[in-house]
Structure 1
């Protein structure tokens, strides 16, 4: 348990074992999911805004590394097995508020946003910033990579290995911007009524959508192809700090991964919404009692027993939800289709 608000949670599988990492104020924890115990701790000299597992270091160097963004204007890579800082990026001129690892090219690229109003695309292997974008008129609060390629084979800049990828950034200036990496320019933008807290690209059928949350307590779903708002979801009574797409079916009640989104709020609820409907939320999880609120969430596949795997080897239909709170606690909720 952290001493203060949990600002970020990430999940990974290294060497067939599951881990989560969490960041709060100046501290990062690493947790062994199977044994439910803390296996690593790093205390930084300044605030830690975001922490992510580095897939690049695991895939290329067999190292278990966490990348974190800090108020000291830096991005650092911490080998938690050896308790050693491997690399430091220091090109931002103000607090680094958000980071995201690329889901393509073995996690070779890192996107970062800052109070200096720039977004930077880093090559982790070459230790350089490939792109620097003067992106917004205020603090950049969130970034994300698109998992989808647009098959733009005419781009010859060779900024990254793959063609056709984009990333998006959200800011307190009320805008979300989508950036074409190879063309090195803004593709389109969306305007909220208030400052943006979180952005998240969809996957599979929803890969052309961006989910966002804002200071106006609303959750919005945007279409990047037609540059328009698909739907706004209203129901939270406080700031919405976290949004995501649930990856699995839940109890046949919440729905499938092609139609459901999720949001967590300072009103101490997590809400599931059907993007095909303008009705009320499908399902509401109320946070644990006491003066606390939801600040971050992360979905993960549910580990199944061997006999269960044999019965449903082609049907990944269960999930775990980890969420962090303002009181420093991290909770795990488990959902199975075979649960009554």
Structure 2
């Protein structure tokens, strides 16, 4: 009821404003005689959307807090494996953390990098081709590493950038076989995850 009254008052207020424009500016609507109704309806729709958005936002609530890092968290990713949901994160503290979302347990804390971990991704290639839960991480140590979560085992290393690697992305085709990485050396590299080889180096970025 209060919403209807509010929307009605908004419509009346809009009508007053429109008539004020007509009087002051001597506007003749001509072929847009329904302009006042159009604006009033727009205000009603806007008010309704704001109300729904407010209800939607008010339904947000904090479900969980995952603690484990001792410094800034740079990157997060999530995945489902064998029915379980996982979250991984990379931090300035040089570690990669993995949590089981269902029970809020930290199942992995790896410190294989020598500098800040800038980006983490669950490896689509290892999931689709080997049914392994593997995390790929990039770092300021210029190295891209792969870690088998279940067995806490280091897999391949991609080494080719001459400066910090800040972004990694698996291909959406060929089951994630290809990986792109972006670095402070102003290059983007295309890798074949299967062979661990760098296929191409894209140059073109410049310092700004």
* Bin of the TM-score, shorter chain as denominator length: 0.5 to 0.7
- Per-residue displacement from partner, 1:7-32 (whole Å, max 9, x unpaired)? xxxxxxxxxxxxxxxxxxxxxxxxxx
Tell me the CA shift for residue 189 of structure 1: 0.9
* Partner-residue secondary structure (3-state), 1:225: coil
For the pair shown, which has the larger CA radius of gyration, 1 or 2?
2
1:227 aligns with 196
Q: Structure 2: how far apart are the matches of 1:225 and 1:194?
A: 23
Q: Is the 8 A contact 2:128 2:175 kept in 1?
A: no
* Partner-residue secondary structure (3-state), 1:99: strand
Alignment of 1:102-251 (within 5 A): 102=79, 104=81, 108-148=85-125, 149=127, 152=130, 163-191=131-159, 192-205=161-174, 207-238=176-207
Q: Is the 8 A contact 1:103 1:147 kept in 2?
A: no
Tell me the CA shift for residue 203 of structure 1: 2.6
Tell me the CA shift for residue 133 of structure 1: 0.7
Gapped regions of structure 2 (runs ≥ 5):
1-48
Aligned residues: 155
Tell me the CA shift for residue 94 of structure 1: 1.1
Q: How has the CA–CA distance of structure 1 residues 94 and 102 changed in structure 2, closer, same or farther, with 3 Å as cutoff?
A: same
- Per-residue displacement from partner, 1:226-264 (whole Å, max 9, x unpaired)? 1110111111224xxxxxxxxxxxxxxxxxxxxxxxxxx
* Partner-residue secondary structure (3-state), 1:84: coil
Tell me the CA shift for residue 198 of structure 1: 0.4
Q: Is the 8 A contact 1:196 1:214 kept in 2?
A: yes
Give the alignment's Cα RMSD to 1 decimal.
2.5
Tell me whether 1:100 sits opposite 2:69 in the alignment. no
* Partner-residue secondary structure (3-state), 1:116: coil
Tell me the CA shift for residue 112 of structure 1: 0.3
Q: Is the 8 A contact 1:103 1:145 kept in 2?
A: no
TM norm structure 1: 0.42
Runs of 4+, deviation exceeding 6 Å = none
Structure in which a larger fraction of residues adopt helix = 2
Gapped regions of structure 1 (runs ≥ 5):
1-34, 41-63, 65-79, 153-162, 239-266, 268-340
Q: Structure 2: how far apart are the matches of 1:235 and 1:206?
A: 28
Q: Structure 1: how far apart are the matches of 2:83 and 2:72?
A: 27
Q: Structure 1: how far apart are the matches of 2:79 and 2:188?
A: 24
TM norm structure 2: 0.66
Q: Is the 8 A contact 2:165 2:183 kept in 1?
A: yes
- Per-residue displacement from partner, 1:158-201 (whole Å, max 9, x unpaired)? xxxxx413110000111100112222211011121110110111
